[in-house]
């Protein structure tokens, strides 16, 4: 309720990170939540690829996108999900024009996450925002980036000494920047229109194996 009230008070789209959610079956999930400017919960995503053995939460089983009216469709992924290209690819298939990857990395592993997110943006021709936690939990590795389909880094913030409030303000800037840049690049993001109706899908179970060259 406090997060919903904050989104409503500031009149913003709020993705505050993840919370621990206990499901109806008693299982605990690492769940990302999204609130609209009216304070309504519009999306929740249970992290699929939990970081075992250090993250003992139960993995989720569904991909999640939500629409920002007048702006675009946004997909959600959490931290280690970015290491599995199938996650971002599936979100792109679901129409996501921006994938927000929520991260809480306080180690040098942040340097590995950045090129992974760049690759996800390039391979799927979508925008990717990799948002790390603020100090003190993310320490000196808390930079976050927003990446266009080219993979070029649009902006990097160092949040070592900034408060969580600053992270919320930065997230608002990120959403506004995404809206503007999406409008400027509309029609130049996706390779999928190159496929024609007559094109067929690859057969996952071919009747015969290809002959050796």
Q: What is the per-residue pLDDT for 66? A: 97
| pLDDT (tens place) for every residue of the chain, 213 residues total | 789 999 999 999 999 989 999 999 999 999 999 999 999 999 999 999 998 888 889 999 999 999 999 999 999 999 999 999 999 999 999 999 999 999 988 777 788 888 899 999 999 999 999 988 776 666 555 677 788 887 776 555 444 344 444 445 455 555 555 555 555 454 444 444 554 565 555 554 545 444 444
- Axis crossing angle, helix 85-93 with helix 110-124, rounded to the nearest 10: 40
Q: What is the per-residue pLDDT for 140? A: 54
Which of 106, 102, 91, 150 has the alpha carbon at shortest distance from 130? 102
| Count of beta carbons in the 10 Å neighbourhood of residue 113 | 20
Question: What is the residue-wise DSSP string for 11-31?
Answer: TS-B---EEEEE-TTS-EEEE
How many CA atoms does the CB half-sphere of 165 hold within 13 Å? Answer: 1
Global pTM exceeds 0.95: no
């Amino acid at each position: 309720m406090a997060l919903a009230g904050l989104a409503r008070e500031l009149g913003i789209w709020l993705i505050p990170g993840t919370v621990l959610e206990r499901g109806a079956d008693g299982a605990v999930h690492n769940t990302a939540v999204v609130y609209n400017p009216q304070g309504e919960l519009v999306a929740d995503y249970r992290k699929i690829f939990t970081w075992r053995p250090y993250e003992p939460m139960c993995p989720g089983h569904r991909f999640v996108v939500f629409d920002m009216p007048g702006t675009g469709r946004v997909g959600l992924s959490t931290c280690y999900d970015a290491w599995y290209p199938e996650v971002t690819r599936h979100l792109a298939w679901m129409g996501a024009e921006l994938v927000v990857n929520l991260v809480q990395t306080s180690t040098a592993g942040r340097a590995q996450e950045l090129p992974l997110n760049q690759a996800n943006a390039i391979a799927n021709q979508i925008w990717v925002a990799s948002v790390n936690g603020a100090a003190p939990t993310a320490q000196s590795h808390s930079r976050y980036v927003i990446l266009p389909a080219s993979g070029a880094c649009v902006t990097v913030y160092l949040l070592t000494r900034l408060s969580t409030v600053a992270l919320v303000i930065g997230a608002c800037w990120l959403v506004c920047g995404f809206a503007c840049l999406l409008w400027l690049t509309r029609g130049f993001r996706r390779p999928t229109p190159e496929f024609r109706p007559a094109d067929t899908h690859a057969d996952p179970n071919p009747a015969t194996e290809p002959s050796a060259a």
